[in-house]
Amino acid sequence: MATSMTEEPPSSSSSSKPQPRQSEKNWLDRLMGAFSAEPKSRDELLEIIKDAADNRLVDQEALSIIEGALDVQDQQVREIMIPRSQIVAVALDETPAQFLAKIIESGHSRFPVIGDSIDDIRGILLAKDLLPLVLKGLEDFRLENIIRPANIIPESKRLNVLLREFRENRYHMAVVIDEYGGVAGVITIEDILEEIVGEIEDETDEDDDDVFIRKVGDNDFIVKALTPIEEFNEFFSCEFSDEEFDTVGGLVMQSFGHLPERDESTELGVFNFRVLYADNRQIHLLRVQRDSGKSSDQE
């Protein structure tokens, strides 16, 4: 007699287990392969990390940081340094009254200290080292007593190597020299970190950009030379013309008739303008006082 045959039903375990989609399977295969065999190039590594970001295993910000860290390996100091022309330096023979204005205006925390020229680097001044002067006074102040040694590096140095030296030796600024031994620029640890994580803004960055006029005493103001004339007029309730110049610096330069040096003064209407900080190209910072004995129609 024939025996009836019935088809055996599939096991519940195999039917309930979800099968990965083909795209997921391909990506998982590549990921597992990355762990079993190291990527052969940086491009292969980046491709795997980008796939991980696409599949939301890492976010886009993490991907950007990883890409920045990898890029730093191929970059040299000359590519991101602050160039020679933009260095804010303090001369060794300057007094606090002479260099404090540029320190305040720049907003930096470290400054190269120079001797006879920008190529004669004597050390690094940390702004925080000036704080004890508030208590001790300026009677016996000598700049050479508080400056730190300068770290000199070639412009061909790789950023990843310099970052390691910054961390190991616990310094934050280096002076960059060119092949002839002249100063090419400066670089800070923040400059390198910004290549990795993006722009790092100080809590006062936005304020410093917006504030052109700062009151420091009765009838005593510090004014940026780039202050728009319209804003100056509004602040002081005066009526300087802005037809020929856009900024206060332009008006003051015209009044002098030449590029002034620090501490030179000029009168414009009821205002006295004294130069606090200027370089060989332009005026940067002014001390402004208003003569209350003059009438406003003299402006």
At residue 55, the pLDDT reads: 72
Residues 149, 253, single domain; the answer is: no
Q: What is the pLDDT of residue 98?
A: 82
Q: Are residues 187 and 275 in the same domain?
A: no
Q: What is the pLDDT of residue 6?
A: 46
> Is 65 in the same domain as 176?
no
Identify the domain containing residue 68 by its residue range: 24-72
- What local confidence, expressed as pLDDT, does residue 200 receive? 62
Same domain, 137 and 174: yes
DSSP letters of 106-167? Answer: H--SEEEEESSSTT-EEEEEEGGGGTTHHHH-STT--GGGTPBPPPEEETT-BHHHHHHHHH
35 and 123: one domain? no
User: Is residue 16 assigned to a domain?
Assistant: no
Q: Are residues 39 and 127 in the same domain?
A: no
Among 72, 93, 110, identify where a domain stops.
72
CATH (domain of 270): 3.30.465.10
The predicted pLDDT at position 263 comes to 80
| The pLDDT value given to residue 273 | 95
Rounded Cα distance between 294 and 290, Å, is 9
pLDDT of residue 66: 77
Are residue 95 and residue 176 in the same domain, yes or no? yes
Domain boundary among 197, 228, 253: 197
State residue 12's pLDDT score.
46
pLDDT of residue 265: 92
* pLDDT tens, per residue, the chain with 299 residues: 444 444 455 544 444 555 555 555 565 565 555 555 566 676 777 777 777 777 777 677 777 777 778 778 888 999 989 999 889 999 999 888 788 888 887 878 899 999 999 999 999 999 888 887 767 766 677 888 899 999 999 999 999 999 999 999 989 999 999 988 999 999 999 999 888 877 665 544 444 456 789 887 778 888 999 999 999 999 999 999 988 899 999 999 999 999 988 789 999 989 999 988 887 778 888 999 987 665 544 44
Is 13 a member of any domain?
A: no
Assess if residue 84 is contained within a domain. yes
84 shares a domain with 190:
yes
Is residue 2 a part of any domain in this protein? no
Q: 61 with 97, same domain? A: no
pLDDT at site 105: 77
Residues 147 and 250 in one domain: no
Give yes or no: residues 83 and 189 share one domain.
Answer: yes
pTM for the whole structure = 0.57
Within-domain flag for 50: yes
- Number of domains making up the chain: 3
- The reply to whether 182 and 218 lie within a common domain is no
Whether residue 119 lies inside any domain: the answer is yes
Residues in the chain: 299
User: What CATH number is associated with residue 91?
Assistant: 3.10.580.10
How do beta strands 121-126 and 110-114 pair? antiparallel
Query: Which of 64, 76, 45, 77 has the alpha carbon at shortest distance from 196?
Result: 64
Identify the pLDDT of residue 229. Answer: 94
pLDDT at 67: 76
Question: What's the number of CA atoms in the CB half-sphere (13 Å) around residue 279?
Answer: 12
Residue 1 lies in a domain: no
Residue 235 belongs to some domain of the structure: yes
Pair 55, 30: CB distance under 8 Å: no
Among residues 171, 197, 223, which one ends one of the domains? 197
